Amino acid sequence: RAAAEIEKNSYWSDKRHLLRKLCHRFGTDFNAHGIKRTFKYRSLNEKKQYLFTTNEIIKALASRFPMCCLGFGAALGLRRDQDLIGHDDDLDILVALPQKEFPSLPAGLSRIEKHLRDNGFKIEGGFFSHLWVRHPDGERCDVFVGLIEDDGRLSFYPSARNSLATDILF
């Protein structure tokens, strides 16, 4: 939110290059999430460890919710560049749930939150479409919930409804 405000505010937008230079000096970037340590400042081993802990979250989710995978920027960067996107700072997990069993995103998020807590993960924030989940080793990722609608297509917020084919994503 802070990044969006700075982009809109002419005083700060004029100073944006100075802010980015200052962030760079401290191994951070200014992105949509605020001032964060992005992947371009992480070593290969740090990125591997982050992927490892995220995969442990995926395995825990898959034991109850089989349609889950890396998503959004994480999937794009790994597919396109065989690396995490340099200006990104977190990993996203997508979990698809049948709408017949979970009629709304809050219903799905609630069940996922309980499952993750029961498996030793910490929930640090809940939002309309996703959870902030922290692995016991310290890394945090976003877990997004999508609904598989009657036609078998997926709806993930903020994507358009029915915009993804289940068989393509999973």
**pLDDT (tens digit per residue) in 9-52:** 677 667 777 777 776 787 777 777 778 889 999 999 999 999 99
For residues 140 and 133, the answer to whether their CB atoms sit within 8 Å is yes
The predicted pLDDT at position 4 comes to 60
Q: Alpha carbon of 29 to those of 13, 37, 45, 46, 145: distances in Å?
A: 15, 6, 20, 17, 27
Candidates 163, 141, 145, 162; CA nearest to 101 is: 145
pLDDT at 1 over 60: no
pTM across the whole model: 0.84
Query: pLDDT tens across 110-159, in order?
Result: 999 999 999 999 999 889 899 999 999 888 999 999 999 878 889 888 77
C-alpha 144, offset from chain centre: 7
Candidates 36, 43, 32, 39; CA nearest to 5 is: 32
pLDDT at 64 over 90: yes
For residue 85, give the DSSP letter. -
The predicted pLDDT at position 6 comes to 57
Count the alpha carbons within 13 Å of 113 in the hemisphere toward its beta carbon. Answer: 16
For range 164-168, the mean pLDDT: 83
Candidates 156, 146, 136; CA nearest to 112 is: 146
All residues at 6 or more sequence positions from 77 whose CB lies less than 8 Å from its CB, including other chains:
39, 83, 84, 85, 88
